[in-house]
Each structure stands twice: as structure tokens, then as C-alpha cells.
């Protein structure tokens, strides 16, 4: 999947997610390294030091036992021997307690073998020490001294096993400390590498995303300025489907619409120019006809004046005819009266004629 075909918001989410994942990885690695280092330091400071401390305590108390036994042999005063015997008892208890505690802390085959050697030599040396005290108490000082000389070698071997345990613990502590230093350096280098990768990847993603956003926007600004200057011939290409691609598509649609509108305006302008030419020609023809019509109107006006004069004469004649008609009507009316009278006279004549006939 090409990340730069995604939308800007999704692209930013992916970039931040990658950086967060790297941050989480770095945090987890650091946490594990610190936890491991903490455990290792605890192992060094607590476990190994505790083992060394127990071994040294065992050796010191064994040394107290040996010196107290020597004092027990050398000093015959009851009070002195009593104190020596008390120190022997206390130191012996401390040795046994240290041995028991050390046995619970043993790890690994090498430590267990060293611990078993301590137990073995304790088992060998202790009877001689006990026998020396018994011989002293029995009054056999010469035998006690002989037994002490023989037991001294056994005790020295016991001391040697305890010293070997101390050296083993110190060596293990040093090796563990060296391992801690190695692990610490490795963890630091790993965290440093992850941090460098995060910084490099973050810088690369920031540059790529910024470039993928700013370039189309700058191109859109350039195209807008070109269109604003009146140049509609700009070639607008869109290669992405994100917001900037949608912006470029919208600019292309706007530019195409403006080109179409300009073509329509140009076509309409040509049509208007043609119509204007035709209107101008029509106006000229109309002007000519108007002039002709004006001449006809002048002739019509002259004819109307003549007609008006004729109508005026006709009106005068009509008034005169009307007066004559009124006069004729009066005459006719009088004639009608006369005729009526004549008819009446003729009726009287007829009546009289009938009477004459009858007579």
C-alpha cells in the first residue's frame, strides 16, 4: 500500500502511529533493560554479597574457634578456659548458622560443589577440635596437643574450602558485574539505535508528508494566480486522491467551467455583434423608409388639407341643404294640412253627392 495515496489525515495518523510504535518499542526495551539491570544489581549487591558475607562470617568464626581452642590448651586457669569454652560454643553456633544460610543460597553446580566441600571438611575437622577439648578436660594435655597438631591440617583444609567459596563468590560477582556492564552497554546502544531510527524515520515522514502537502498547494496557488491573470490555458494534472488532489480536481473543474463560460460568452458576443450589424442595417433601412414615409405623410397632409377644405365646403352645403329641407318640410306640412282639408272637402262633396243621388 502506497501511504501517499491516502488522505492527509490518514497519512498523519499512520505517521504518528509509526512514531508511537517506535516510542513504545524504545520504552519497552528500556524498561526491560532497566528491570534486568535492577535484578542484576540486586543479584550483585544482595545475593553475591550475602554469600560472601556468610562465607567470611563462617571463616572468622572458625578462626575464633581455633584460637579459643588454642587458648583452651595454653591457659589452664579455670576462668580462662571457661571464657574460651563460651567463645568456642558461640563461634561454633555462628559457623553452623552461616553454613546453613549459605546452603539455602547456593545456585549452580560449581557453588554446590564448593559448599559440599565445606560440609565435608567440617565433618572431618570438627571431631579433632572436639577431641582436643575432651582430652584437655581429661587432663591429657600432651595427647590434646598432638591431636591439635593433627587437626590443624584438617582445619586448614576447612579454611581453604571456605576461602575458595569466598573467591568463587567474588569471581561470580565480578563476572556478573561484567555481564551487567555488557548488558547495560547493549541496552544503551539498542535504545540509542531505536532513538536514531525514530528520529530518522520521523524526520523522513515529516519531510515526505510536508512535501506531499506543500507541493500541490503551491501548484494550486500558481494555477490560481495564472487563472486570476486571465490565462485559462494552464494544464492541470491530478495524480493523488487526497485533499490536495481533490483541490486540484476542483481547480481543473473550475478552469474548464471558466473556459466553457468564456466560449459561451464569446459565442454570444459574436451573435450580439451579428445582431447589432443586422440591427444597424435594419435601422438604416428603417431610416430610409421613415424618410419615404415622411414624404408620403407630407403628401397625405396636403391631401388631408384639401379633403378638410372639401369637407368644410360639404358641411356648408349640408347646412344649406338642411335649411332647404327644413323649409321644404314646413311647406310639406302646410301642404299636408291643405290636402287634409281638401280630403275633408272632398268627403263633404261626396256626402253631398250621395244625398243628391238619393234625392
C-alpha separations of 188 from 5, 20, 43, 178, 201 in Å:
37, 20, 20, 15, 20
C-alpha separations of 54 from 98, 115, 195 in Å:
5, 12, 44
pLDDT at 144: 83
Cβ burial of 347 (10 Å; 0-12, 13-18, 19+) is exposed
pLDDT at 300: 62
DSSP state of 107: -
Q: How confident is the model at residue 3 (pLDDT cuts 50, 70, 90)?
A: low
CA distance 210 to 214: 6
Residue corresponding to grid cell 569471581: 171
The full DSSP string for 286-319 is: HHHHHHHHHHHHHHHHHHHHHHHHHHHHHHHHHH
Kindly report, residue by residue over 157-179, the tens digit of the pLDDT.
988 998 888 888 888 878 877 88
For residue 253, the SS3 value is: helix
Closest C-alpha among 3, 11, 114 to residue 54? 114
Query: What average pLDDT score do residues 320-342 get?
Result: 61
Cell of 275: 445582431
C-alpha separations of 258 from 105, 234, 255 in Å:
89, 12, 5
Least confident span in 57-71, 272-286, 290-304: 290-304
pTM: 0.48
**Over 70: is that where the pLDDT of 47 sits?**
yes
pLDDT at 209: 75
Closest C-alpha among 294, 334, 53 to residue 286? 294
Could you tell me the sign of the dihedral formed by the alpha carbons of 278, 280, 285, 289, in that order?
positive
**Over 80: is that where the pLDDT of 233 sits?**
no
**Over 70: is that where the pLDDT of 2 sits?**
no
pLDDT at 109: 87
Query: What average pLDDT score do residues 104-121 get?
Result: 87
Using only C-alpha atoms, what is the Rg of the chain? 73
pLDDT at 307: 60
Query: What average pLDDT score do residues 97-122 get?
Result: 87
What's the whole-number average pLDDT of the chain?
A: 76
* Side-chain-facing half-sphere of 182: CA atoms under 13 Å: 6
- Chain CA centroid to CA 34, Å: 31
Amino acid at each position: 500500500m502506497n501511504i501517499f495515496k491516502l488522505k492527509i489525515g490518514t497519512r498523519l495518523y499512520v505517521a504518528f502511529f509509526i512514531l508511537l510504535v517506535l516510542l513504545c518499542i524504545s520504552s519497552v526495551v528500556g524498561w526491560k533493560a532497566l528491570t534486568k539491570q535492577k535484578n542484576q544489581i540486586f543479584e550483585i549487591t544482595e545475593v553475591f554479597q550475602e554469600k560472601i558475607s556468610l562465607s567470611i562470617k563462617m571463616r572468622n568464626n572458625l578462626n575464633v574457634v581455633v584460637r579459643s581452642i588454642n587458648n583452651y590448651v595454653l591457659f589452664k586457669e579455670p576462668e580462662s578456659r571457661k571464657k574460651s569454652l563460651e567463645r568456642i560454643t558461640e563461634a561454633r553456633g555462628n559457623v553452623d548458622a552461616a553454613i546453613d544460610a549459605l546452603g539455602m543460597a547456593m545456585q549452580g553446580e560449581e557453588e554446590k560443589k564448593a559448599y559440599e566441600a565445606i560440609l565435608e571438611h567440617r565433618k572431618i575437622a570438627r571431631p579433632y577440635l572436639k577431641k582436643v577439648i575432651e582430652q584437655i578436660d581429661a587432663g591429657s594435655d600432651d595427647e590434646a596437643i598432638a591431636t591439635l597438631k593433627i587437626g590443624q591440617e584438617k582445619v586448614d583444609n576447612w579454611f581453604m574450602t571456605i576461602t575458595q567459596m569466598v573467591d568463587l563468590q567474588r569471581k561470580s560477582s565480578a563476572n556478573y558485574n561484567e555481564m551487567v556492564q555488557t548488558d547495560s552497554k547493549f541496552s544503551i546502544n539498542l535504545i540509542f539505535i531505536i532513538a536514531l531510527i525514530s528520529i530518522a524515520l520521523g524526520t523522513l515522514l515529516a519531510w515526505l508528508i510536508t512535501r506531499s502537502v506543500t507541493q500541490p498547494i503551491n501548484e494550486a496557488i500558481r494555477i490560481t494566480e495564472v487563472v486570476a491573470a486571465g490565462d485559462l490555458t494552464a494544464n492541470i494534472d491530478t495524480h493523488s486522491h487526497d485533499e490536495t488532489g481533490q483541490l486540484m480536481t476542483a481547480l481543473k473543474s473550475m478552469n474548464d467551467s471558466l473556459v466553457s463560460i468564456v466560449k459561451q460568452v464569446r459565442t454570444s458576443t459574436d451573435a450580439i455583434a451579428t445582431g447589432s450589424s443586422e440591427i444597424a442595417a435594419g435601422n438604416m433601412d428603417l431610416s430610409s423608409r421613415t424618410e419615404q414615409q415622411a414624404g408620403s405623410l407630407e403628401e397625405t397632409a396636403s391631401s388631408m388639407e384639401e379633403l378638410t377644405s372639401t369637407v368644410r365646403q360639404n358641411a356648408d352645403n349640408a347646412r344649406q341643404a338642411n335649411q332647404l329641407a327644413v323649409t321644404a318640410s314646413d311647406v310639406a306640412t302646410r301642404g299636408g294640412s291643405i290636402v287634409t282639408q281638401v280630403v275633408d272637402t272632398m268627403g263633404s262633396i261626396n256626402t253631398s253627392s250621395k244625398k243628391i243621388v238619393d234625392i
